[in-house]
Amino acid sequence: MSASGCDEWAKQNPCMCTCDDDNDECADRCKVIAAENEKLRCSEQCFMIAKNCWSSCASEMNRLCYVLVGISQRYPPIFDSTDLLQFNEGCSTKILATVTALGNNGVITISANDDATRAKVDVLQTSSDNSAGFSTTIQIKQKACMDRETENVWNLQLLAEDTSKMKTIETLPIYILDVNDEHPSFSSKLFQINVSESTQPSTEVLKIKATDPDNGIGGISAALYGNAFGIDASSGSITVKTKLDFSKLSLYQYLIVGTDFGELKGNATLIIKIQEKQQHQSDFLNFLKKTY
């Protein structure tokens, strides 16, 4: 086959290579054709076959070798893998991730794919490389505040699209870590109860409850200042500790303090009114005994 024949054949078979060792010019031309095919993104494996074919043509005289290099295939862009992404909750404008998309059909653009993603982050293009295939790299910058109590993971939707309109949508999870920023809170700011002075020590008179939205280090302990009543820090049970005497003290007022393990505090007020024992019935009976 003449060199001109190679040219004509290449026009009709853009992804084929032929080499005829009887014609060095034709063999060289086939290499040029293969190089052009490489620009069309033919597979690397097929080009290795082509190279072996050229070697055979060079070593064996009068041998005509045909090799199928491979038809160029088009695939949508793919996202490069990323590490596990996790950040403490809070407000910031820090860079959360660097993401790269790769493809073979044309220049790639990466953008946020939905309104929820656009509300949380900005997508900033940092580089684009079109020398060997196509790749685009972006940085994801935080825009909204992270609050683990309302959302413990951001599932960011990213769109990669090339100039041939082929596209890929990828979900990028950003895990939000808890920060101890919530104070403990009681079910009420004021507790008020009446307790008879005849109530025996160790009797439970009230159980209070405190909560803390934080996870992990968030927990509740409580302290009741004073010695007539006590509180169990884990259950919130308030019990009588000593014998009560209305004539000596008829009202107790306490500050209840809830402290989580991160040292944030919440408080409430407890008022306990001591009620005098009812003596009139026994006094009346004693009067009757004396009368009769």
- Identify each DSSP E strand in the chain by its residue range: 16-20, 64-68, 78-79, 86-88, 95-103, 108-112, 121-129, 134-142, 153-162, 167-177, 185-186, 190-196, 204-207, 210-211, 221-224, 229-231, 237-240, 251-259, 265-275
Residue 66's pLDDT is 41
Residue 32's pLDDT is 59
Q: CA angle, 137 as apex, 80 and 132 as ends, to 5°?
A: 80
Residue 204's pLDDT is 96
Length of the chain: 292
Residue 21's pLDDT is 43
Contact between 20 and 27 under an 8 Å Cβ cutoff? The reply is yes
The torsion of the CA quartet 75, 76, 81, 85, rounded to 10 degrees, works out to -170
- Is the pTM higher than 0.75? The answer reads no
Residue 27's pLDDT is 53
Residue ranges of the chain with pLDDT lower than 70? Answer: 1-73, 214-226, 262, 279-292
Residue 96's pLDDT is 96
